[in-house]
Structure 1
Amino acid sequence: MSPETHITNLLHLYAELIDLGQLEAVAALFDHAEVTFGGGRVVHGGAAMLPEWRAFVKIHPCGTPRTKHVITNAIVAVDDGAHTATCRSYYTVFQQTPALPLQAIIAGRYHDTFACVGGEWRFATRDYALVDLIGDLSQHLLLPVPVQTH
Protein backbone atom coordinates (compact mmCIF):
# COMPACT_ATOMS: atom_id res chain seq x y z
CA MET A 1 0.00 0.00 0.00
CA SER A 2 1.33 3.46 -0.86
CA PRO A 3 2.14 6.04 1.84
CA GLU A 4 -0.64 8.23 0.43
CA THR A 5 -3.17 5.44 0.94
CA HIS A 6 -1.94 4.75 4.48
CA ILE A 7 -2.25 8.45 5.34
CA THR A 8 -5.69 8.82 3.78
CA ASN A 9 -6.79 5.72 5.68
CA LEU A 10 -5.62 7.35 8.93
CA LEU A 11 -7.77 10.40 8.15
CA HIS A 12 -10.79 8.20 7.53
CA LEU A 13 -10.12 6.01 10.58
CA TYR A 14 -10.12 9.16 12.72
CA ALA A 15 -13.54 10.12 11.29
CA GLU A 16 -14.93 6.62 11.80
CA LEU A 17 -13.75 6.33 15.40
CA ILE A 18 -14.91 9.78 16.48
CA ASP A 19 -18.34 9.16 14.94
CA LEU A 20 -18.57 5.83 16.81
CA GLY A 21 -17.82 7.65 20.07
CA GLN A 22 -14.65 5.61 20.59
CA LEU A 23 -12.72 8.47 22.14
CA GLU A 24 -10.01 6.24 23.63
CA ALA A 25 -9.23 4.77 20.18
CA VAL A 26 -9.24 8.25 18.62
CA ALA A 27 -6.83 9.48 21.27
CA ALA A 28 -4.51 6.55 20.56
CA LEU A 29 -4.15 7.80 16.97
CA PHE A 30 -2.49 10.91 18.43
CA ASP A 31 -0.17 9.15 20.91
CA HIS A 32 2.88 10.65 19.21
CA ALA A 33 1.32 13.89 17.98
CA GLU A 34 1.28 17.55 18.85
CA VAL A 35 -2.19 19.07 18.39
CA THR A 36 -2.88 22.80 18.08
CA PHE A 37 -6.27 24.23 19.01
CA GLY A 38 -7.77 27.68 18.47
CA GLY A 39 -5.97 30.36 20.40
CA GLY A 40 -2.66 28.59 19.81
CA ARG A 41 -3.07 26.12 22.68
CA VAL A 42 -0.98 22.97 22.09
CA VAL A 43 -1.59 19.48 23.50
CA HIS A 44 0.96 16.66 23.29
CA GLY A 45 -0.01 12.99 22.90
CA GLY A 46 -3.11 10.86 23.05
CA ALA A 47 -3.19 10.75 26.86
CA ALA A 48 -3.58 14.54 26.85
CA MET A 49 -6.09 14.49 23.97
CA LEU A 50 -8.54 12.09 25.62
CA PRO A 51 -9.64 14.50 28.38
CA GLU A 52 -9.95 17.24 25.75
CA TRP A 53 -12.45 15.20 23.73
CA ARG A 54 -14.28 14.07 26.86
CA ALA A 55 -14.66 17.70 27.95
CA PHE A 56 -15.79 18.98 24.55
CA VAL A 57 -17.69 16.25 22.70
CA LYS A 58 -21.26 15.49 23.78
CA ILE A 59 -21.88 11.74 23.77
CA HIS A 60 -25.58 10.96 23.37
CA PRO A 61 -27.44 8.05 25.05
CA CYS A 62 -26.67 5.84 22.02
CA GLY A 63 -22.96 6.12 22.93
CA THR A 64 -22.01 8.28 19.94
CA PRO A 65 -21.89 12.01 19.19
CA ARG A 66 -24.50 11.36 16.44
CA THR A 67 -22.15 12.88 13.86
CA LYS A 68 -20.65 11.98 10.51
CA HIS A 69 -17.25 13.52 9.84
CA VAL A 70 -16.65 13.69 6.10
CA ILE A 71 -13.03 14.30 5.12
CA THR A 72 -12.33 15.31 1.53
CA ASN A 73 -9.86 17.06 -0.75
CA ALA A 74 -6.83 15.40 0.85
CA ILE A 75 -3.60 16.68 -0.67
CA VAL A 76 -0.79 14.41 0.52
CA ALA A 77 2.91 15.14 -0.04
CA VAL A 78 5.36 12.43 1.01
CA ASP A 79 9.07 12.97 1.66
CA ASP A 80 10.35 9.42 1.17
CA GLY A 81 13.87 10.27 2.33
CA ALA A 82 12.71 11.79 5.63
CA HIS A 83 9.88 9.27 6.16
CA THR A 84 7.47 12.16 6.71
CA ALA A 85 4.43 13.58 4.96
CA THR A 86 2.10 16.53 5.01
CA CYS A 87 -1.60 16.55 4.27
CA ARG A 88 -4.12 19.33 3.85
CA SER A 89 -7.76 18.25 3.82
CA TYR A 90 -11.29 19.57 4.28
CA TYR A 91 -13.78 18.33 6.83
CA THR A 92 -17.53 18.75 7.14
CA VAL A 93 -19.36 17.43 10.19
CA PHE A 94 -23.00 16.45 9.83
CA GLN A 95 -25.24 15.78 12.79
CA GLN A 96 -28.79 14.69 13.56
CA THR A 97 -30.33 14.35 17.03
CA PRO A 98 -33.88 14.28 18.36
CA ALA A 99 -33.48 18.06 18.86
CA LEU A 100 -31.66 18.80 15.59
CA PRO A 101 -32.56 17.84 12.02
CA LEU A 102 -29.79 16.47 9.81
CA GLN A 103 -27.48 19.34 8.90
CA ALA A 104 -23.87 20.39 8.51
CA ILE A 105 -22.74 21.85 11.84
CA ILE A 106 -19.13 22.82 11.13
CA ALA A 107 -16.64 22.81 8.24
CA GLY A 108 -12.98 23.60 8.00
CA ARG A 109 -9.56 22.26 7.20
CA TYR A 110 -7.08 19.91 8.81
CA HIS A 111 -3.38 20.55 8.32
CA ASP A 112 -1.59 17.39 9.42
CA THR A 113 1.91 16.01 9.36
CA PHE A 114 2.79 12.34 9.59
CA ALA A 115 5.84 10.27 10.39
CA CYS A 116 6.62 6.73 9.29
CA VAL A 117 8.16 4.88 12.21
CA GLY A 118 9.00 1.19 11.93
CA GLY A 119 7.01 1.01 8.70
CA GLU A 120 3.85 2.44 10.32
CA TRP A 121 2.46 5.87 9.44
CA ARG A 122 1.18 7.92 12.36
CA PHE A 123 0.01 11.44 13.10
CA ALA A 124 2.84 13.83 14.06
CA THR A 125 0.89 17.12 14.19
CA ARG A 126 -2.65 18.36 13.65
CA ASP A 127 -3.98 21.92 13.50
CA TYR A 128 -7.61 22.04 14.68
CA ALA A 129 -7.76 25.85 14.51
CA LEU A 130 -8.70 26.10 10.82
CA VAL A 131 -12.47 26.51 11.09
CA ASP A 132 -14.20 28.05 8.07
CA LEU A 133 -17.96 27.64 8.67
CA ILE A 134 -19.86 27.22 11.93
CA GLY A 135 -23.45 26.08 12.30
CA ASP A 136 -25.47 24.82 15.26
CA LEU A 137 -22.96 23.10 17.56
CA SER A 138 -25.38 22.95 20.51
CA GLN A 139 -25.88 19.17 20.23
CA HIS A 140 -22.22 18.37 19.53
CA LEU A 141 -20.00 20.37 21.86
CA LEU A 142 -20.18 20.79 25.61
CA LEU A 143 -17.96 23.88 25.74
CA PRO A 144 -17.45 26.83 23.43
CA VAL A 145 -14.48 26.37 21.16
CA PRO A 146 -12.06 29.21 20.47
CA VAL A 147 -11.66 29.27 16.70
CA GLN A 148 -9.67 31.26 14.24
CA THR A 149 -11.40 31.55 10.90
CA HIS A 150 -9.03 31.85 7.95
Structure 2
Amino acid sequence: MIDSARQIENLMYTYAERIDAGNLEEVAELFTHGRIVASPEAPVETAVTGRDEVLGMYQGSTRLYPCGTPRTKHVTTNAIIDVDDDTGTASARSYYTVFQQLDDFPLQPIITGRYHDTFHRIDGVWWFDQRTMLVDQLGDLSRHLLFELKL
Protein backbone atom coordinates (compact mmCIF):
# COMPACT_ATOMS: atom_id res chain seq x y z
CA MET A 1 0.00 0.00 0.00
CA ILE A 2 1.24 3.49 -0.88
CA ASP A 3 1.69 5.81 2.10
CA SER A 4 -0.26 9.07 2.35
CA ALA A 5 2.63 11.36 1.41
CA ARG A 6 3.22 9.40 -1.80
CA GLN A 7 -0.51 9.46 -2.63
CA ILE A 8 -0.52 13.25 -2.20
CA GLU A 9 2.61 13.62 -4.30
CA ASN A 10 0.95 11.53 -7.02
CA LEU A 11 -2.11 13.80 -6.83
CA MET A 12 0.11 16.84 -7.35
CA TYR A 13 1.76 15.21 -10.38
CA THR A 14 -1.61 14.08 -11.76
CA TYR A 15 -2.65 17.73 -11.89
CA ALA A 16 0.39 18.56 -14.08
CA GLU A 17 -0.13 15.52 -16.30
CA ARG A 18 -3.80 16.30 -16.91
CA ILE A 19 -3.34 19.98 -17.67
CA ASP A 20 -0.52 19.27 -20.11
CA ALA A 21 -2.74 16.71 -21.85
CA GLY A 22 -5.46 19.35 -22.21
CA ASN A 23 -7.84 17.29 -20.07
CA LEU A 24 -9.43 20.27 -18.36
CA GLU A 25 -12.43 18.26 -17.22
CA GLU A 26 -10.13 15.76 -15.52
CA VAL A 27 -8.15 18.62 -13.93
CA ALA A 28 -11.42 19.99 -12.56
CA GLU A 29 -12.33 16.54 -11.15
CA LEU A 30 -9.33 16.85 -8.82
CA PHE A 31 -11.09 19.81 -7.16
CA THR A 32 -14.50 18.17 -6.73
CA HIS A 33 -14.07 18.69 -2.97
CA GLY A 34 -11.74 21.67 -3.12
CA ARG A 35 -10.91 25.05 -4.54
CA ILE A 36 -8.20 27.03 -6.31
CA VAL A 37 -7.07 30.43 -5.14
CA ALA A 38 -5.21 32.42 -7.80
CA SER A 39 -2.49 34.98 -7.27
CA PRO A 40 -3.97 38.37 -6.41
CA GLU A 41 -2.61 39.80 -9.69
CA ALA A 42 -4.52 37.34 -11.91
CA PRO A 43 -7.38 39.05 -13.78
CA VAL A 44 -9.67 36.11 -13.10
CA GLU A 45 -11.73 35.29 -10.05
CA THR A 46 -9.45 34.95 -7.09
CA ALA A 47 -11.15 31.78 -5.82
CA VAL A 48 -13.09 29.07 -7.59
CA THR A 49 -14.69 26.21 -5.70
CA GLY A 50 -15.71 22.76 -6.85
CA ARG A 51 -15.48 20.93 -10.12
CA ASP A 52 -17.72 23.17 -12.22
CA GLU A 53 -16.16 26.50 -11.19
CA VAL A 54 -12.63 25.13 -11.61
CA LEU A 55 -13.52 23.82 -15.06
CA GLY A 56 -14.95 27.21 -16.02
CA MET A 57 -11.78 28.94 -14.86
CA TYR A 58 -9.53 26.67 -16.94
CA GLN A 59 -11.77 26.82 -20.01
CA GLY A 60 -11.76 30.62 -19.78
CA SER A 61 -8.02 30.98 -19.27
CA THR A 62 -6.12 28.16 -21.03
CA ARG A 63 -5.35 28.30 -24.74
CA LEU A 64 -5.69 24.86 -26.33
CA TYR A 65 -4.25 24.04 -29.74
CA PRO A 66 -5.65 21.82 -32.54
CA CYS A 67 -3.85 18.86 -30.96
CA GLY A 68 -6.09 19.39 -27.92
CA THR A 69 -3.29 20.40 -25.56
CA PRO A 70 -1.81 23.70 -24.39
CA ARG A 71 1.59 22.50 -25.68
CA THR A 72 3.05 22.87 -22.18
CA LYS A 73 4.93 20.85 -19.59
CA HIS A 74 4.15 21.72 -15.98
CA VAL A 75 7.10 20.57 -13.87
CA THR A 76 6.47 20.33 -10.12
CA THR A 77 9.52 20.15 -7.85
CA ASN A 78 10.76 20.71 -4.31
CA ALA A 79 7.63 19.21 -2.74
CA ILE A 80 7.54 19.42 1.04
CA ILE A 81 4.56 17.39 2.27
CA ASP A 82 3.26 17.26 5.84
CA VAL A 83 0.59 14.65 6.62
CA ASP A 84 -1.62 14.19 9.67
CA ASP A 85 -3.03 10.72 9.06
CA ASP A 86 -5.07 10.84 12.26
CA THR A 87 -7.13 13.83 11.08
CA GLY A 88 -6.96 12.97 7.38
CA THR A 89 -5.43 16.32 6.47
CA ALA A 90 -2.18 17.38 4.85
CA SER A 91 -0.35 20.34 3.41
CA ALA A 92 2.35 20.78 0.81
CA ARG A 93 4.56 23.48 -0.61
CA SER A 94 6.17 23.06 -4.00
CA TYR A 95 7.65 24.92 -6.96
CA TYR A 96 6.36 24.86 -10.51
CA THR A 97 7.93 25.73 -13.83
CA VAL A 98 5.86 25.71 -17.01
CA PHE A 99 7.62 25.17 -20.32
CA GLN A 100 6.03 25.69 -23.71
CA GLN A 101 7.00 25.05 -27.33
CA LEU A 102 5.19 25.63 -30.61
CA ASP A 103 6.32 25.48 -34.22
CA ASP A 104 7.03 29.24 -34.18
CA PHE A 105 7.81 29.52 -30.45
CA PRO A 106 11.05 27.90 -29.23
CA LEU A 107 11.05 25.78 -26.09
CA GLN A 108 11.23 28.07 -23.07
CA PRO A 109 10.05 28.51 -19.50
CA ILE A 110 6.99 30.78 -19.52
CA ILE A 111 6.19 31.05 -15.80
CA THR A 112 7.55 29.91 -12.44
CA GLY A 113 6.04 30.02 -9.01
CA ARG A 114 4.88 28.10 -5.98
CA TYR A 115 1.90 26.01 -4.99
CA HIS A 116 0.68 26.08 -1.41
CA ASP A 117 -1.72 23.16 -1.12
CA THR A 118 -3.93 21.63 1.52
CA PHE A 119 -5.54 18.22 1.22
CA HIS A 120 -8.17 16.16 2.95
CA ARG A 121 -8.96 12.46 2.87
CA ILE A 122 -12.51 11.35 2.07
CA ASP A 123 -13.37 7.65 2.32
CA GLY A 124 -9.68 6.75 2.10
CA VAL A 125 -8.96 8.94 -0.95
CA TRP A 126 -6.84 12.10 -0.83
CA TRP A 127 -8.30 15.20 -2.51
CA PHE A 128 -7.19 18.78 -2.98
CA ASP A 129 -8.75 20.98 -0.33
CA GLN A 130 -7.16 24.20 -1.57
CA ARG A 131 -4.46 25.04 -4.09
CA THR A 132 -3.03 28.53 -3.87
CA MET A 133 -1.03 29.49 -6.97
CA LEU A 134 1.69 32.06 -6.39
CA VAL A 135 3.55 33.56 -9.33
CA ASP A 136 7.26 34.38 -8.95
CA GLN A 137 8.56 34.95 -12.49
CA LEU A 138 6.88 35.60 -15.82
CA GLY A 139 8.03 34.85 -19.32
CA ASP A 140 6.02 35.01 -22.52
CA LEU A 141 2.55 33.71 -21.59
CA SER A 142 0.89 35.03 -24.75
CA ARG A 143 0.68 31.55 -26.28
CA HIS A 144 -0.62 29.87 -23.10
CA LEU A 145 -3.18 32.09 -21.38
CA LEU A 146 -6.26 33.78 -22.80
CA PHE A 147 -5.61 36.86 -20.63
CA GLU A 148 -2.61 38.98 -19.75
CA LEU A 149 -0.91 38.20 -16.43
CA LYS A 150 1.36 40.80 -14.84
CA LEU A 151 3.35 40.82 -11.64
Output the TM-score relative to the length of structure 1. Answer: 0.93
SS at match of 2:16: helix
Spell out, residue by residue over 1:74-121, the C-alpha distance to the aligned partner (whole angstroms, 9 max, x if none): 000001221100000000000001221000000000000000111100
Which residue, out of 139, 144, 148, partners 2:143?
139
Report % sequence identity: 50
1:73 maps onto 2:78 in alignment? yes
Q: Is the 8 A contact 1:71 1:89 kept in 2?
A: yes
Question: Does the 8 A contact of 1:38 with 1:145 survive in 2?
Answer: no
Select 2:116's aligned residue among 111, 116, 120: 111
Amino acid at match of 2:144: H
Q: Which amino acid aligns with 1:5?
A: R
Q: Whole-Å Cα distance in 1 between the matches of residues 71 and 17 of structure 2?
A: 12
Q: What is the CA distance between 1:51 and its match in structure 2?
A: 1.1
State how far apart, in whole Å, the 2-side matches of 1:4 and 1:139 are.
Answer: 34
| Superimposed CA distance per residue, residues 24-75 of structure 1 (whole angstroms, 9 cap, x where no aligned partner) | 0000001111211122821111110111101110001111000000000000
Distance in structure 1 (CA, Å) of the matches to 2:47 and 2:145: 19
SS at match of 1:95: strand
Is the 1:38–1:146 contact (alpha carbons within 8 Å) kept by the matching residues of 2? no
- Matched with 1:11 is 12
The letter for the 2-side match of 1:26 is: V
- Aligned match of 2:49: 44
Counterparts of residues 125-136 of structure 1 (less than 5 Å): 125-128=130-133, 130-136=134-140
Calculate the aligned-residue CA RMSD, in Å: 1.2
How far apart are the structure 2 equivalents of 1:146 and 1:106?
Answer: 11
Match of 1:60 among 36, 55, 65: 65
Match of 2:127 among 122, 141, 146: 122
Q: Distance in 1 between matches of 2:127 and 2:148?
A: 29
Following the alignment from structure 1 to structure 2, what is the Cα–Cα distance between the partners of residues 22 and 35? Answer: 17
Instruction: Please list every run of at least 4 consecutive aligned residues from structure 1 whose deviation after the TM superposition is greater than 3 angstroms.
Output: none
